[in-house]
Amino acid sequence: MSAVLKQAPQLAPMKAADLDAVLAIEQAVYTHPWTRGNFADSLRAGYQCCTWRLGGELVGYFVLLCAAGEAHLLNLSIAEGRQRRGHGAALLHEAMRVARESGARNIFLEVRPSNLAGKALYERFGFRKIALRRGYYPAQGGREDALVLSSAL
């Protein structure tokens, strides 16, 4: 096994210099991706934006807003070619740890009902449906509802 394969992924604060690589993943994994401006605004606003790197390679990232004892997971994504290898679960574990350490006692997020991978990941971590936001997401030829999921931290 090479030295690179033995390395564990590293969590680091997202920087403006990461945005080209972040956008490349974002545009590959979503039908309606965030824009560069969405990420830049999140960085400027002081949200907890983190990258997940294996060696020099960007494997994933998350964007988390923590305020008033609540955490809102706004984005969590794994590069297409790196999915189904445990990175999503490991990164969600890190996001929940960061949220807990920031003082949040609950975490919530929105997910498309059609996002089977996302729903399965969050269910595996004990997230429960708390609400439905009608027409929350843009979708092909219309809008799609969002499931609002939550977990205690």
The residues that touch ligand COA, with contacts defined as CB under 6 A, are 29, 76-78, 83-89, 109, 111, 115-118, 120-121, 124
Q: With respect to ligand COA, which residue has the nearer C-beta, 66 or 127?
A: 127
Smallest gap, in angstroms, from Cβ of residue 123 to ligand COA?
Answer: 7
Name the residue with the smallest CB distance to ligand COA: 88
Report whether 87 contacts 60 (CB < 8 A).
yes
Q: With respect to ligand COA, which residue has the nearer C-beta, 77 or 151?
A: 77
Residue 134: other Cβ atoms inside 10 A: 8
Q: With respect to ligand COA, which residue has the nearer C-beta, 66 or 92?
A: 92
Q: With respect to ligand COA, which residue has the nearer C-beta, 85 or 133?
A: 85
Nearest-angstrom CA–CA distance, 152 and 2: 39
Smallest gap, in angstroms, from Cβ of residue 8 to ligand COA?
Answer: 15
- Nearest Cα residue to 126 out of 99, 89, 91, 87: 89
Smallest gap, in angstroms, from Cβ of residue 136 to ligand COA?
Answer: 12
Q: With respect to ligand COA, which residue has the nearer C-beta, 12 or 117?
A: 117
Smallest gap, in angstroms, from Cβ of residue 28 to ligand COA?
Answer: 9
Smallest gap, in angstroms, from Cβ of residue 91 to ligand COA?
Answer: 7
